[in-house]
Amino acid sequence: LKKKTSLADIAKALGVSKTLVSMVLNGKGNENGINEDTQKRVWAKAKELNYKPNIMARSLRTGRSHTIGLIVADISNAFYARMCRAVEDAAARRGYYVLFSSSDEKAQKEQELIQMLRDRLVDGLILSTTLENKEGIEELEKAEFPLVLIDRFIPNESTAFVTADNYAGSKEAVHHLIKKGHQRIGVLKISPSYLTSITERVRGYQDALQEANIPVADQHLLEIPYDNIQASIKEELPKLLTGENRVTALYALNNNLATAALKEIHSMGLKIPDDVALISFDDIDLFSIHSPGITAVSQPVSDMGTHAVELLLNKIESKKNADENDQVYLPTELIERDSCG
C-alpha cells in the first residue's frame, strides 16, 4: 500500500505553508486574499501529485464526518432495500455518505449498532427503531445527537420522525374490503406488535370496521412472530380459513406477511379472490405480477427516505427553520387490483 500525498507534500514541493494549501484547496483562497497565481500553482501541484484529502484527519479536526448512519430491520427486505436506496441518493445529493446496518428487529443489536455508528463519528442517524430501546434513544436525545426515526415513531415523544400515514392507509384498505362485500376480515399482524407501523394499521382496521358497524372479532387477529413467519403462517392460517366462522378476506399488515400468506393459500389449494380475498399493506413487485394481481396499499418509500434525509441534514447543519415540522406522515395510495373480488 503506497503512501498517499498529503497537504504537507504539496506545501513542501511549492515552498509554501500547509495552511495556504489547505485554504486554497478548500475554496477559501479568495476569501483569504491569496494570489491568483499561487492558487493556480497549488491546484496544479495537487493534481500532479494526485492529492486526495484524508477524511479521517479532517473529521478528527472538524468533528464532522459527512457520513450518516441508517439502521433498518433487514436490508435484504424489499421495503428497506428501496428505502436505503432513497436515503443513499438523497444523502449523496448533499454530499453525505451512508453507513447501513440491519438490526434484525433486535433491541440489543440496535443499541450496539447505534454505538458503533457513533464511534465512527457519524454526524447523525436515521433509525427504524425496534422501539424496545427507549433508553438508547433517550441517551441520543440527551446528547443532542441528530436523530430521525423512520417508518416508526415513539408515541407521545417529540423525537423527529417520517412515516407513512399507516392509520389512514389501513382504514382505506379495510373500507375497500368492506365495499367489496367483506365483513369477516382476518388480519395478519407481525410481532413485536408494539411497532407503531403495526399498531396504527390495526387501529385503522378497527376504526374502519366500527364506522361500518361491523363488530371487531379478536379471533380474527393473528399475530405472527417476525423471525418465523412462514412456518407460523402455515400453522395459524387454517384456523382463520376454515370452520363456520371463517373469514372471507385476509388483510396482511406487511409485505412479508402477504407473501407468506400467498404461498400458504396456494398450497392449501384455495383460489383468490373466490375462496378468500387478500389485501396487503405495502406494495411490492410480486403483487402486480401475480395473477390475480394483489390489491395493496403502496407506501411512499422513496419519499420517506428522502424526507428523512432532509430533516436529518437540516438538523445536522442547523438549517432548520423554526417552523419546520419534524413529525411527518406521508400519504399512502391504494393500488386496486383483482384480489378482493
Partner DNA sequence: ATGAAAGCGCTAACAA
Partner DNA sequence: TTGTTAGCGCTTTCAT
In DSSP notation, 161-207 reads: EEEE-HHHHHHHHHHHHHHTT--SEEEEEEESTT-HHHHHHHHHHHH
113's enclosing H/E stretch is helix 107-119
Q: Smallest distance from the beta carbon of 121 to DNA, in angstroms?
A: 9
Quick count: other Cβ atoms within 10 Å of Cβ 138?
A: 13
242 near DNA, judged by CB under 7 A: no
Taking CB within 5 to 8 Å according to partner kind, which of a copy of itself, DNA, none is near residue 245? none
81 near DNA, judged by CB under 7 A: no
Q: Contact, 128 vs 152, CB < 8 A?
A: yes
Taking CB within 5 to 8 Å according to partner kind, which of DNA, a copy of itself, none is near residue 232? none
- CA 98 to CA 87: how far, in whole Å? 8
Q: Smallest distance from the beta carbon of 71 to DNA, in angstroms?
A: 23
Choose, by CB under 7 A, the member of 61, 76, 144, 285 that binds DNA: 61
- CA 233 to CA 250: how far, in whole Å? 12
**Ramachandran angles phi, psi of 254, nearest 5°:** -155, 175
Nearer to DNA, 48 or 227 (CB): 48
3-state DSSP assignment of residue 212: coil
- Residue located via cell numbers 425496534: 130
Q: Smallest distance from the beta carbon of 3 to DNA, in angstroms?
A: 6
20 near DNA, judged by CB under 7 A: yes
Nearer to a copy of itself, 119 or 323 (CB): 119
Taking CB within 5 to 8 Å according to partner kind, which of DNA, a copy of itself, none is near residue 33? DNA
Closest CA to 154 of 180, 182, 128, 181: 128
- Give the per-residue contact string, 30-59, with DNA (x = CB under 7 A; - = no): --xxxx--x------------x-xx--xx-
143 near DNA, judged by CB under 7 A: no
How many residues bind DNA (CB under 7 A)? The answer is 28
Binding site residues, DNA, CB under 7 A = 3-4, 6-8, 15-20, 22-23, 25-26, 32-35, 38, 51, 53-54, 57-58, 60-62
